[in-house]
Chains A and B, each alone.
Chain A
Amino acid sequence: NAGVTQTPKFRVLKTGQSMTLLCAQDMNHEYMYWYRQDPGMGLRLIHYSVGEGTTAKGEVPDGYNVSRLKKQNFLLGLESAAPSQTSVYFCASTTPLNYEQYFGPGTRLTVT
């Protein structure tokens, strides 16, 4: 089992460019999450999904969109990147049986 994988690992964008971050899990988990982590801070929830075809906003959803067309994949989109979106992005998944979250390795995004 690969667990939770994230693509890409690193990316540099210019202000105004768009991109999509891909998260994939092979554990058949129902719930998936996107977080951002800024230096010295905890994880802030951007969007999450409790099942295929459903998404919901977290604490900091502005400037991001998500889609969960397949149970194993959760995509995070930035339509028009801003320097304030420079961060490390983590995807996680879990099952409602115990809520133990499994995290991916992260994507380090820099917006110049």
Chain B
Amino acid sequence: GQQVMQIPQYQHVQEGEDFTTYCNSSTTLSNIQWYKQRPGGHPVFLIQLVKSGEVKKQKRLTFQFGEAKKNSSLHITATQTTDVGTYFCAGDNTNAGKSTFGDGTTLTVKP
């Protein structure tokens, strides 16, 4: 079946440093979504990418979808303590609304 892998599993940064998490799928995806889960909370939708090579920005967050639609990345510029949490990618290769989640990257930010 479809597999979605995320690296790294954990990332510890000093406040102000940049952070990147990578998502790789074993199959070509029709779309990819990113979610953020704060400690003790539930996943919250951040963004969806659909087109090959797509790049979207949300303030300090930059999301990319690979040309082959098998990988994606989330980059945070100048991290803040409010960025703490686990970031998940979720890929759908069927366009049937059934996404496979990666295991997430947990970000901690030292003030």
Q: Which residues of A contact B (CB under 8 A)?
A: 31, 35, 40-45, 48, 50, 58-59, 90, 92, 94, 96, 98-106
Q: Which residues of B contact A (CB under 8 A)?
A: 1, 6, 9, 31, 33, 35, 41-45, 48, 88, 90, 92, 96-104
Q: Are B42 and A94 in contact (CB under 8 A)?
A: no
Chain A residue numbers with a CB within 8 Å of B90 are 43, 101
CA distance A40 to B97 in the complex (A): 24
With both beta carbons as reference points, the residue of chain B lying nearest to A95 in the complex is identified as B97
CA distance A100 to B97 in the complex (A): 9
CB contact between A99 and one of B6, B48, B88 (< 8 Å): that residue: B48
* Chain A nearest Cβ from B63, distance in angstroms: 14
Q: Are B104 and A42 in contact (CB under 8 A)?
A: yes
* Chain A nearest Cβ from B5, distance in angstroms: 10
Residue pairs across A and B with Cβ atoms less than 8 A apart, 10 shown, are A45-B101, A48-B98, A50-B96, A90-B43, A92-B43, A98-B48, A101-B33, A102-B45, A103-B42, A105-B41
* Chain A nearest Cβ from B107, distance in angstroms: 14
